[in-house]
Amino acid sequence: MKSFPDPSDARKILEVLQADGVIAYPTEAVWGLGCDPFSEIAVERILAMKLRERSKGLILIAKDIEQLNPFLLGLSVAEMTELKQSWPGPQTWLIPDNNHAPSWITGINNTLAVRVTDHPIASNLCSAFGGPLVSTSANPSGLPPAKNMSEINTYFDQQLDYVVPGLLGELSNPTPIKNLKTGKIFRSG
């Protein structure tokens, strides 16, 4: 596993992401795995590393709401207002899939999970990439999410293309997930 000491190395991160690479990085509560959401190869790598079923879908994180605009088409003014009031921040929303996201991101769902992150490193990664990134907890299915570099190394030794050093945010649990249309909570924070 390669680890680079400079988290602002945007050029290297961009090269990795554009080459179907998979990165690990700190988020609001746990370490995350990320990649270009439009790279089926990279997404399949993450799913294989996590032993996760493709049908479950993945979360997209963004620097700002503008990066998510193509995915938000069709939402009402009231729904957009609710999103804007909660972002940036640790709220993940399930929104109706408007067919802009690839099937390897939505899985078998008719929804898409999205978040505008307020974690500085995750936000800077999206900024460097120029768009949203896949964000999923860094752990094989059934094991607790990685909370430190030692756990990243244990879980994914030699499988990652880039590890962005940094500190986790202040949340103790992964971000809550709520359906924007129904209000149903799928994961509490």
**Span 2-18, pLDDT tens digits:** 444 454 577 888 999 99
pLDDT value of residue 2: 46
pLDDT digits (tens, 9 = 90+) for 106-152: 999 999 999 999 999 999 999 989 999 999 999 999 999 999 999 99
Q: Which CATH class is domain 10-187?
A: alpha beta
- The yes-or-no verdict on residue 189 having pLDDT over 70 is no
Q: Are residues 111 and 94 in contact, defined by beta-carbon separation less than 8 angstroms?
A: yes
> Predicted confidence band at 172 (pLDDT cuts at 50, 70, 90)?
confident
Query: pLDDT by residue (tens digit) across 57-109?
Result: 999 999 999 999 999 999 999 999 999 999 999 999 999 999 999 999 999 99
With a cut of 90, say whether residue 187 has pLDDT above it.
Answer: no
138-167: average pLDDT: 95
d(CA 93, CA 124): 21
What HEC string does the chain produce? CCECCCCCCHHHHHHHHHCCCCEEEECCCCEEEECCCCCHHHHHHHHHHHCCCHHHCCEEEECCHHHHHHHHCCCCHHHHHHHHHHCCCCCEEEEECCCCCCHHHHCCCCEEEEEECCCHHHHHHHHHHCCCEEEEECCCCCCCCCCCHHHHHHHHCCCCCEECCCCCCCCCCCCCEEECCCCCEEECC
Looking at residue 145, what is its pLDDT?
Answer: 96
Nearest to 56 by CA among 116, 122, 133, 141: 141
- Domain residues of the chain, as ranges? 10-187
What is residue 178's predicted lDDT score, i.e. its pLDDT? 96
